[in-house]
């Protein structure tokens, strides 16, 4: 039997042809393909502006800059995420204020967000926050993450943000195509960010994109991705100190075809997730993904299960890998990454729910091109080993 990959992009001849078409033009960057790709996102989500960039991390970073978050500013966010969602604050010498997550979904716990707004001192890291006084005025934003393709509790987050004049950056890098109470993920905050690394729901190779309804922020982000060239600047005039965060035309052409196939690809991913669910629901000690009522559409990014405390997750993972089934612990808590511990003095036990999920969770092989037989093989092997 073929080795099962951890994840696979879902590509067809249409994508290959689109990339080849770009290669037959002289314009490999800053052309029409990026504009068309951005337009597809405006149409899909209803956003006024879409700004394509060369990674999800770059997109999040531009949002942090546009939001005016700088040295010593505080942003409430989750430690149960991919590191990029916190790193973008560190790039600007701002301070992520972590709060723990809902044990069922892994999304940021909104009761704790409220507490962190009202009692910010309690949530400051042990070290590295010397510049954070006076605290309340340093609190600038909330950065929730739509974990595993399920939107965070955005109504409550937006109500808290409105009451306290905070900006909301929605990290939807795992949730393209998901819906919260009928509204598209990414459209629920002031900014929404998507990512297109090859394991995401759709890919451009490397790539990312920001959506927003704010004209001024959109202009600023377009300038900042393009070496700081503001509208009206010539090639060698730079209003701002900018970055090169541009997406190239080959990637945009690939992405435009992927966008046209998004519903088909999401449907295939849902079928694979359903196949997993039906085969795993009766395996003792295995807990599958909980989906909130507010999630009117789940967009499956990864397939993560949790094991009962009585099962040694790491031994099981090793045994699966030895049998040719790739698996990955997911997520490793951000606050316990070496550079976070060094800068902020975090310790084990600081965010117990995040740490517990981090210890008991395992991402199984998952993609829209995975076959029913492959799902069966993974599930049977898990059941055997348990």
x-or-dash string of contact with ligand PLP, 166-205, rule CB under 6 A? -----x-xx--------------------x-x--------
- Site for ligand PLP, residues 70 to 89, rule: CB under 6 A: 81-82, 84-85
When asked if residue 7 is in the footprint of ligand PLP (CB under 6 A), the reply is no
Pairing of strands 361-364, 303-307: antiparallel
- Min dist CB 190 to ligand PLP, Å, is 17
CB closest to ligand PLP, residue no: 56
* Token output for 176: 């393209």
Q: Which is nearer to ligand PLP, 177 or 316 (CB)?
A: 177
Residues 211-230 that bind ligand PLP (CB under 6 A): none
Strand order through the sheet with 361-364: 286-287, 303-307, 361-364
Positions in 253-292 near ligand PLP (CB under 6 A): none
Spatial separation of the C-alpha atoms in residues 329 and 62, rounded to whole Å: 29
Of 55, 110, 354, 367, the one binding ligand PLP (CB under 6 A) is 55
Q: Does 96 bind ligand PLP (CB under 6 A)?
A: no
Q: Give, in order, the Cα–Cα distances in Å from 67 to each of 45, 84, 95, 272.
A: 21, 17, 14, 38
Which CB atom, from 116 or from 209, has the smaller least distance to ligand PLP?
209
**CB of 255 vs ligand PLP, minimal distance in Å:** 12
Name which position in 208, 333, 358, 365 contacts ligand PLP (CB under 6 A). Answer: 208
Q: Is 45 in the site for ligand PLP (CB under 6 A)?
A: no
* 248 sits near ligand PLP (criterion: CB under 6 A): no
Instruction: State which residue, 102 or 171, has the beta carbon closest to ligand PLP.
Output: 171
Residue 10 CB, nearest approach to ligand PLP (Å):
17
Q: Indicate which single residue of 9, 19, 53, 57 sits in contact with ligand PLP (rule: CB under 6 A).
A: 57
Q: Which of residues 123-162 bind ligand PLP (CB under 6 A)?
A: 145
d(CA 165, CA 10): 41
Residue number with CB closer to ligand PLP (120 or 172)? 172
Interaction site with ligand PLP (CB under 6 A): 55-57, 81-82, 84-85, 145, 171, 173-174, 195, 197, 208
């Amino acid at each position: 039997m073929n080795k099962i990959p951890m994840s696979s992009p879902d590509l067809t001849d249409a994508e290959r042809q689109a990339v080849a078409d770009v290669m037959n033009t002289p314009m490999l960057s800053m052309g029409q393909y990026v504009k068309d790709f951005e337009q597809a996102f405006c149409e899909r989500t209803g956003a006024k502006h879409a700004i394509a960039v060369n990674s999800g991390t770059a997109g999040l970073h531009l949002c942090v800059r546009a939001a005016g978050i700088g040295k010593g500013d505080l942003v409430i966010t989750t430690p149960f995420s991919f590191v990029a969602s916190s790193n973008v604050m560190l790039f600007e010498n701002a301070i992520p204020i972590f709060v723990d997550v809902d044990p069922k979904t892994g999304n940021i716990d909104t009761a704790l967000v409220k507490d962190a707004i009202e009692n910010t001192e309690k949530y400051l890291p042990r070290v590295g926050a010397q510049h954070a006084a006076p605290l309340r005025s340093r609190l600038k934003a909330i950065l929730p993450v739509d974990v595993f393709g399920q939107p965070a509790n955005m109504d409550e987050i937006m109500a808290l943000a409105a009451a306290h004049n905070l900006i909301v950056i929605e990290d939807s890098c795992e949730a393209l195509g998901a819906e919260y109470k009928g509204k598209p993920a990414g459209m629920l905050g002031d900014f929404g960010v998507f990512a297109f690394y090859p394991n995401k729901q759709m890919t451009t190779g490397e790539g990312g994109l920001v959506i927003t309804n704010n004209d001024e922020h959109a202009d600023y982000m377009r300038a900042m991705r393009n070496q700081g060239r503001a509208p009206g600047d010539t090639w060698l005039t730079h209003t701002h100190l900018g970055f090169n965060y541009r997406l190239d035309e080959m990637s945009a052409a690939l992405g435009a075809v992927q966008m046209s196939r998004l519903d088909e690809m999401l449907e295939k991913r849902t079928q694979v997730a359903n196949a997993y669910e039906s085969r795993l629901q009766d395996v003792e000690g295995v807990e599958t993904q909980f989906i909130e009522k507010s999630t009117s559409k789940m967009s499956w990014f990864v397939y993560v299960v949790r094991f009962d405390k009585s099962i040694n997750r790491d031994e099981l993972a090793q045994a699966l890998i030895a049998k040719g089934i790739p698996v990955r612990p997911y997520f490793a808590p951000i606050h316990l990454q070496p550079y976070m511990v060094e800068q902020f003095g975090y310790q084990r036990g600081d965010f117990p729910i995040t740490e517990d999920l981090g210890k008991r969770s395992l991402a199984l092989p998952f993609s829209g091109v995975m076959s029913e037989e492959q799902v069966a093989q993974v599930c049977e092997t898990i059941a055997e080993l348990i």
